[in-house]
């Protein structure tokens, strides 16, 4: 916008300067020419009284010498009384031009070497005398170059001044627009405290007011959402208390112990949801160096929890790649929640006796966690990945896969659903270790080649 305004102002000012400077320069040139020939007419008028008094050649030569400087004047006397025509001074005009002026009886100008000549006829008793006054070219253009230089300087000053004014006006409009863009970018990045100064032109000021109002609405909506999540989670404490009391009275059997463990974990998760929802910070800080967890340890822990239920349902369970530490830039609770969501889907949407496996592949720049099963598979993977839409079974909300997707994307990775080697569904969680985008993200063949490479390393 700034440069566009400068270009428009430059073009308009240049056209205006040219429209006025060119005609004015031509007028100045014509005025200089008129001034030079007016001076020549005055010099010719000085000789006229002498011609009316005497026609003696010696006296006329003295008059010409006194009137014209540097041989700039000449007299052309006609032939009369048996006397031949006489030219006094230094004539420059052609004889044809002199005779034409004598016949017409009015002044005329003609081009001669080095300039122009004014031919002024004077009617006397002896005939028509032609007075020739030489006007040098330098006198015709005297002062024209200086005047044109002044005009050019004034025009350039006007153009530069207009460009400077346009640039200042452009800055006055562009700076509020840039601040509005920066505010929108910061708000998009999660900095909910970002606001825009309400200044600049009226339109941009109104846009800033609207932006600040929108940001306030976003903050209020998020606060309301946190409060609602906290209130809904808080309501779960009463039935959780009942479950915990009932589980305590089940005795010492493995099923009772598993039930008590599940209730305790559910109570911890509810408390975590309440604390998170009550936080006033609009944006969480990025994990610093050393933050994260051991993916292998988390997988072993969660598989130990789900193995008891798998044994009751006759499911075969297999894990791979968890025999040594695998550090990832993900919080322990987040990875556990993602694994629980995927394994819960296996138990919920596959028949009893269906085998499943969890593989961890550790690479130089990424860690891949594969959760696969031998179930019927997912008919529409894209719909399964959509938040709030079913994953192919009745009663599913799709929030489990959304939890997994957000965990992977927080590291620069992604989640893919495909067919597993067991014959059912395979969910691939790509966790990027350096925050870069994974290579060839949408190319299934490349992903499988990458997977084989990672399996070879693990």
What are the tokens at 304?
């130990």
Q: Are 395 and 418 in contact (CB under 8 A)?
A: no
Find the DSSP H helices in 189-201.
none
Strand boundaries in 146-199, DSSP class E: none
Q: At what angle do helices 237-248 and 254-278 cross, to 10 degrees?
A: 160
pTM, whole model, 2 decimals? 0.42
Q: Where are the alpha helices (DSSP H) in 189-253?
A: 202-235, 237-248
Residue 430, H or E segment: strand 425-432
| Nearest to 124, CA basis, from 143, 105, 139 | 105
Name the helix (H) or strand (E) containing 399: helix 399-409
pLDDT of residue 288: 41
pLDDT digits (tens, 9 = 90+) for 92-108: 888 888 888 888 888 88
Please check whether residue 321 is in contact with residue 300, taking contact to mean a CB–CB distance below 8 angstroms.
no
Distance CA 302, CA 88 (A): 128
**HSE-CB of 79 using CA atoms within 13 angstroms:** 5
Predicted confidence at residue 361, as pLDDT, reads 93
Does 187 have pLDDT greater than 90? no
Place of tokens 């170059």: 145
User: Which string of DSSP letters, residue by residue, matches 318-383?
Assistant: EEES-SS--EESS-HHHHHHHHHHHHHHHHHHS-TT--EEEEEEE-SSEEEEEEEESS---S-HHH
Q: In what order do the strands lie in the sheet with 356-362?
A: 317-320, 356-362, 366-373, 425-432, 414-419
For residues 99-118, average pLDDT: 85
- Rounded CA gap, 388 and 397, in Å? 5
Q: Give the single-character DSSP code of 393.
A: S
Q: At what angle do helices 144-188 and 2-53 cross, to 10 degrees?
A: 170
Cβ proximity of 438 and 412 under 8 Å: yes
Residues 413, 431: contact at Cβ < 8 Å?
yes
| Residue 358 near residue 310, CB atoms below 8 Å | no
pLDDT at residue number 319: 93
The pLDDT value recorded for residue 394 is 42
Residue 454 and residue 438 in contact, taking contact as beta carbons nearer than 8 Å: no
Yes or no: say if 39 and 54 are a contact pair by the CB < 8 Å rule: no
Pick the CATH number of 293-457 from 3.30.565.10, 3.90.1720.10, 3.40.50.970, 3.30.70.20: 3.30.565.10
Residue 217 CB neighbours (<10 A): 10
CB-based burial, 157-179: b 16+ in 10 Å, e otherwise: ebbeebbeebbeebeebbebbeb
330 in Cβ contact with 353 (< 8 Å): no
C-alpha span between 258 and 251 (Å, rounded): 11
Instruction: pLDDT band for 68, please (50, 70, 90 cuts).
Output: low
Contacts of residue 350, defined as CB under 8 A and 6 or more positions apart, other chains included, come to: 356, 373, 374, 375, 376, 424
Q: Say which residue, 115 or 170, is predicted with more confidence.
A: 115
Is the CB of residue 404 less than 8 Å from the CB of residue 378? no
Q: For residue range 213-257, list pLDDT tens digits in order.
A: 888 888 888 777 776 766 666 566 557 666 776 777 777 778 778
Residue 161 has pLDDT above 70, yes or no: yes
Looking at the domain 2-142, which fold is it?
Answer: Beta-Lactamase (3.30.450)
- The pLDDT assigned to 260 comes to 79
């Amino acid at each position: 916008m700034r440069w566009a305004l400068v270009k428009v102002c430059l073009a308009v000012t240049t056209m205006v300067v040219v429209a006025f400077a060119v005609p004015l320069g031509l007028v100045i040139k014509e005025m200089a020419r008129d001034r030079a020939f007016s001076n020549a007419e005055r010099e010719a008028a000085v000789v006229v009284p002498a011609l009316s008094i005497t026609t003696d050649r010696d006296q006329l030569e003295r008059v010409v010498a006194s009137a014209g400087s540097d041989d700039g004047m000449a007299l052309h006397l006609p032939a009369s009384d048996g006397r031949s025509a006489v030219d006094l001074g230094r004539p420059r005009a052609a004889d044809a031009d002199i005779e034409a002026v004598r016949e017409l009886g009015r002044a005329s100008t003609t081009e001669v070497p080095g300039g122009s000549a004014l031919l002024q006829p004077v009617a006397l008793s002896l005939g028509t005398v032609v007075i020739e006054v030489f006007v040098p070219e330098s006198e015709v253009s005297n002062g024209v170059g200086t005047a044109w230089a002044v005009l050019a300087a004034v025009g350039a000053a006007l153009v530069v001044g207009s460009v400077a004014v346009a640039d200042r006006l452009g800055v006055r409009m562009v700076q509020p627009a840039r601040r509005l863009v920066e505010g929108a970018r910061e708000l998009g990045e999660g900095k909910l405290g970002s606001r825009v100064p309400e200044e600049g032109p009226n339109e941009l000021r109104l846009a800033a007011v609207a932006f600040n109002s929108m940001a306030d609405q976003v903050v209020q909506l998020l606060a309301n959402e946190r409060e609602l999540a906290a209130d809904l989670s808080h309501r779960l404490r009463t039935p959780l208390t009942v479950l915990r009391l009932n589980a305590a009275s089940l005795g010492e059997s493995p099923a009772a112990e598993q039930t008590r463990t599940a209730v305790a974990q559910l109570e911890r998760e509810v408390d975590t949801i309440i604390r998170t929802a009550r936080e006033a910070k609009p944006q969480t800080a990025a994990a610093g160096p050393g933050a994260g967890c051991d993916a292998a340890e988390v997988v072993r822990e969660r598989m130990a929890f789900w193995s008891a239920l798998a044994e009751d349902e006759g499911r075969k369970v297999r894990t791979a790649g968890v025999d040594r530490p695998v550090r990832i830039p993900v919080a322990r609770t987040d990875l556990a929640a993602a694994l629980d969501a995927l394994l819960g889907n296996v138990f919920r949407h596959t028949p009893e006796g269906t085998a499943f496996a969890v593989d961890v592949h550790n690479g130089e720049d990424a860690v891949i966690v594969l959760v696969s099963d031998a179930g019927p598979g997912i008919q529409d993977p894209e719909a399964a990945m959509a938040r709030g839409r079913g994953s192919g079974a009745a009663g599913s909300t799709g929030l489990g896969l959304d939890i997994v997707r957000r965990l992977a994307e927080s590291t620069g990775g992604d989640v893919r659903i495909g067919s597993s080697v067991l014959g059912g569904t395979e969910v691939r969680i790509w966790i990027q270790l350096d925050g870069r985008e994974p290579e060839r993200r949408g190319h299934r063949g490349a992903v499988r080649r990458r997977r084989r490479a990672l399996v070879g390393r693990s």
